[in-house]
Structure 1
Amino acid sequence: MEAIIKLNSQNSIKKYTRSLARFQSLIALFILCFVLSILSDKFLTIDNAWNVMRQISVNICIATGMTLVVLTAGIDLSVGSVLALSGAITAGLLRNGLEFPSANLYVGFTILGAVLAGLLIGALLGVFNGWTITRFKVPPFVATLAVLTIARGLTMLWTKGFPISGLGESFSFIGTGWFLGIPVPVWISGIIVLMAVLLTRKTRFGRYIYAIGGNENASRLSGINIDKIKIAVYTIAGGLAAIGGIIVTSRLDSAQPNAGITYELDAIAAVVIGGTSLSGGKGSIMGTVLGAIIIGVLNNGLVLLNVSPFWQQVVKGFVILLAVIIDKANSKNQ
């Protein structure tokens, strides 16, 4: 009888722990907002709320792609550099076009053409990441770290180390404009999230992503084309990083050679805080969105409190570490 009572008690504790783990990000966000609202009277204002949403839009774009990668038990450290290169390519083509002196030819670009070129660059770098990982069996950490360096170097070569500015009001609308009372970047990130949710929940491709992250060997034996899915996932991540780069470039009206530095850390933090396991196979896009909001609110709060940028990095580092520790603890309890 005592054994049965003890077993029921253990089951109740496990159920409670699982329920708490499911809502831990939401609880953390509520506590964070409550504390910041006490410490700063500027935090709970409409203008600041829109400011936070506009700032996290880029991270949501990047983190959505990162979520798909992490669900396959991978990682992409190159997204910040891909963001910078894609933004620089877009700005350079829009501002200067392409010149071919030997053929006495000049090719100009419309906003749509320049944006598509930037997206193509991001997607191609994603393809390269996926191909390197699947074809040569290079660990994702190493492969994407190499592409991080390559893309950063290409950005410096393209820009010659100088910003590309003066891109026009029409282009700046992407990063600073409003549509139906909502900032355009929020619309863009919202559409991306909606598409990613449908992709992961309603398609065979989404089920394959979870299956690969859960057990790659079993997925291969089930007939899933592992390499094809992984390349597609890294391609999507590269394309979404490019979208983030275009938004950043548009908002600043300038392509900065050093843009996107540490953006990969914010994206990984959003993914982990949102409950996606670094081991793969478990997590959700909406969890990542919640994680991105937490990171955005934290950044905003630290700025409002006039905390040094150097201490901000320290705080975010500890937040990432804490999120990983909680993830590991939850994995052991299941």
Structure 2
Amino acid sequence: MSANKLFRLVINQSTIVVFVLMLVAAGFLSDRFFSPDNITNILRQSVPLGIVSLGLLYVILTGGIDLSVGSVMALVSVVAALTIPGFGVSGAVAISLIVGIACGLVSGSLVANFGIAPFIATLATMTITRGLSLIVSKGQPIFIDDQAFMDFGSAAIFGIPALFFLLIVVTAAALFLNRKTVFGRLVIAIGSNETATRFSGINIMAIKLAVYAISGFTCAVAGVVSATRTGVGSPILAIGFELDAIAAVVVGGASLAGGRGTVINTLIGALILSMISNLMNLMDIPGYHQQVVKGVIIVLAVLLESAKRRASTQH
């Protein structure tokens, strides 16, 4: 294999290469990284980010963005905490999912029906949902007194957190939707060339509404998951989480311009971000410094994406 072909292979599989390099580097940087307890912790921590990133991927594939993901998670966690006493766990989860989907439909409607730029539309939804979560909770965390609900957050199957199996199920569903359905192909078509897709007679509005509804649904699932882990419905949950979710999708190789990105790489991107956060915590790196590192990671991921596009063009 020539050096040029090897370079193109590495660039095209950059997400997997980065993941492997991170594993190797983590083993050298911390002797606690590969301990069973820490691996379990990483898997558990990666679940909310992975689930939200998979929903956000569909929005980004259309060339959109969703800045409301963290705020929707917070609202859903508060709704779940408030409704469990009256409706039970099943009822509360159902209501929470409906709330998340409704938030997604609001964002989607602003984008698809009113033609508002996704950045502005979801910024508005972010502000509204965060405000609603503070109003409904009166600015206070709401503690959940339901042992069955709490047990799911800490349960493990064969030593693997039960929550991680939920992430696998969501990944499988996202993969099926992306690869095996007409909807998945249309999402990519809109991101690649929205004008041509519209002239083909495709209902662009319906597809855009659907992808934001998917994002709202995954935010709702992540909000419920977060509540099971902490036992609290918190109005300040996931502040700044949109940065992590966007970073995970971009690190996974998706293009913010739309039309390019895969489910598996997005999952790997979420795992990479979770590993980096965990490693920095093990190394006692302060939180403010971690934000700088995450910003640098986004820049590097975008540069890699540009290199990947150039490599494919030359090929």
TM-score of the pair, normalised by structure 2: 0.95
The answer on whether the counterparts of 1:63 and 1:268 sit within 8 Å (CA) in structure 2 is yes
Shift of 1:180: 4.5
| Cα distance in 2, alignment partners of residues 31 and 187 from structure 1 | 25
Q: What is the identity, as a one-letter code, of the residue corresponding to 2:63?
A: A
Write the deviation string for residues 262-310 of structure 1: whole angstroms up to 9, x where unpaired. 1111111110010111111111000001101110110000000011111
Tell me the residue number matched to 2:205: 227
Aligned to 2:201, what secondary structure does the other structure show?
coil
**Match in the other structure for 1:255:** 233
Question: Which stretch has the larger CA shift, 317-326 or 198-207?
Answer: 317-326
Q: Contact 2:74–2:133 at 8 Å: present in 1 too? A: yes
Matching residue's letter, 1:45: S
* SS of the residue 1:279 aligns to: coil
Which residues of structure 1 form unaligned runs of 5+?
Answer: 1-8, 96-107
- Partner of 1:201 in structure 2? 179
Mapped contact 1:70–1:279 kept (Cα < 8 A): yes
Equivalent pairs counted in the alignment come to 311
Tell me if structure 2 keeps the 8 A contact 1:167–1:254: no
Deviation at 1:257, TM superposition (A): 1.5
Give the stretch that moved more between structures: 37-46 or 77-86. Answer: 37-46
- 1:212-237 Cα distance to aligned partner (Å, 9 max, x none): 11100111111211110110010010
SS at match of 1:276: coil
Aligned partners of 1:275 and 1:123: how far apart in 2? 26
Amino acid at match of 1:331: R
Q: Of residues 40, 43, 50 in structure 1, which corresponds to 2:40?
A: 50
Distance in 2 separating the partners of 1:180 and 1:322:
37
Aligned letter for 2:275? V
RMSD, aligned α-carbons: 1.4
What TM-score does the superposition give when structure 1 sets the normalisation length?
0.90
Aligned to 1:135: 113
1:280 and 2:270 equivalent? no
Is the 2:11–2:307 Cα contact (8 Å) retained in structure 1? no
1:316 is matched with 294
Amino acid corresponding to residue 178 of structure 2 in structure 1: T
Shift of 1:17: 4.2
User: Deviation at 1:195?
Assistant: 0.5
- Aligned to 1:62, which of 52, 58, 61? 52
- Which residue pairs with 2:217 in the alignment? 239
Farther-moved stretch of structure 1 (138-147 vs 25-34): 25-34
Q: Check whether the contact 1:77–1:148 (CA below 8 A) recurs between aligned residues.
A: yes
Query: Per-residue CA shift, 1:43-102, capped at 9, x if unaligned?
Result: 11122111101100110100000111101111000000000001110111114xxxxxxx
